[in-house]
Structure formats: structure tokens, C-alpha cells
Amino acid sequence: MLKIGVLASGKGSNLQAIIDAIESGKVSATIGIVISNKSNACALLRAQRHGITSIFLDPKESKTREEYDARIVAHLEKEGVELVVLAGFMRILSPYFIKAYKSKIMNIHPALLPSFPGGHGQRQAVDYGVKISGATVHFVDEGCDTGPIILQVAVPVEDDDTEETLSARILEQEHKIYPLAIQLYAEGKLEVIGRKVTIRQK
């Protein structure tokens, strides 16, 4: 069974969607550990409620990004994590981390990449005035939200949308495509060639 490690900084609704999908048998994986860079992240409580090992690692206790990432990687390796899932993890991973889990890190972004990378993808979409935005699950590479795209879903932007209303509409879709992407990975159906990901049908 695929063992995943989830990194999260915030409320953890994507983590919850993944937990629910695992518990209902839609995703064939187990969560080895949940790690947060925020002591008060709701994601940690969600993990605890489901009996999943969860830890807070304080970035202030590390001198450099690499040193912090090395601590995370040590925990992931100790738990035998095979796929790292970033679920609202608001830190850029160092090249050290990317190398340690090359092509084995997924992220979800609240916009249709390559549009609106970085922070506040939903606010960027509202401010720009696009009519359609969405969500993207992608593999993580050394860039910021630049890795090979696994799944995308389009979400309409309404005239009176605020960052909050659009975020809620996008989040609903995130909760569907993230578990699906993990399941496709678990089934060995994702083939990465260059920057293209193809989904094998069988």
C-alpha cells in the first residue's frame, strides 16, 4: 500500500478530503505522517482525530531552509513515506528536498497554472478579472508552481466574486481532484515525460 506524508500549514480541508477518501476506500494509500510548520494548524488536529501521527516542526529552530527541510525529510524517511503531498503547505521547498523526493512530491494550487502562481491564486484571479479559474494538481520541481501538471479543473469566476467566495468554489473542486490524483499515482497510472504527465487508461 502506498504510504504518503502530508505537509500542511493551515486548516487542512484538503488533508481531510484525502483522509475521507482513504477511509471510504476511494484512495488506496495510508498516511504515515502529517507535518506542519505552524503549531496551531488545524491540519494537525484533523490528523490526531484520525489516529495519524502528526508533528509540528518549528522553522525557527533551523538556521537555513535546507536544514529545516532535512528535518522534514528525516521524519518522512523514518515513516517510510513514498509520496509527499503538499496540502496548503505555505513554504517553498529547497532543492535538497526536491532531490530527496524527486518526482514524488505533489502540490495543489488554487488556480489554473501557469496562471496565477505563488500566493493568493484566487485573489490574483479576481483582481485580474478572468472569467474562469480553477485548481491544479502538479508534481513539484525546483520552480514555484512550475512542475508537470497532473490534473486541472475549471471553475467559473462570477462578477461579484471576492477572494473568499471564489476560494470556496475552487476548494470544493480541490477536494475532488487531489484524492483522485493520489489514487492515479497509487495505481501507477501517471507517466511523466519531460513536463507532460499522461494518465494511463489501464
Residues that bind ligand GAR (CB under 6 A): 8, 10-14, 87-88, 108-110, 121, 171, 174
CB 2 to ligand GAR: min, Å: 20
| 109 belongs to the catalytic site | yes
Q: Which residues pair with 155 in a beta bridge?
A: 133
> Three cell numbers at 54?
502528526
CB 11 to ligand GAR: min, Å: 4
For ligand GAR, the nearest residue by Cβ is: 88
Residue closer to ligand GAR (CB basis): 12 or 147? 12
Residue closer to ligand GAR (CB basis): 14 or 54? 14
Q: Which is catalytic among the residues 50, 75, 109, 120?
A: 109
> Three cell numbers at 129?
478579472
DSSP string, 14-67: HHHHHHHHHHTTSS-EEEEEEEES-TT-HHHHHHHHTT--EEE--GGG-SSHHH
DSSP string, 101-164: TTT-EEEEESS-TTSS-SS-HHHHHHHHT-SEEEEEEEE--SSSS-SPEEEEEEEE--TT--HH
CB 144 to ligand GAR: min, Å: 8
Q: For residue 103, report the phi and psi dihedrals to the nearest 5 degrees.
A: 60, 20
Distance CA 74, CA 80 (A): 10
Distance CA 98, CA 171 (A): 26
CB 31 to ligand GAR: min, Å: 14
Residue closer to ligand GAR (CB basis): 49 or 200? 49
Residue closer to ligand GAR (CB basis): 55 or 74? 55
Q: Which residues are catalytic?
A: 109
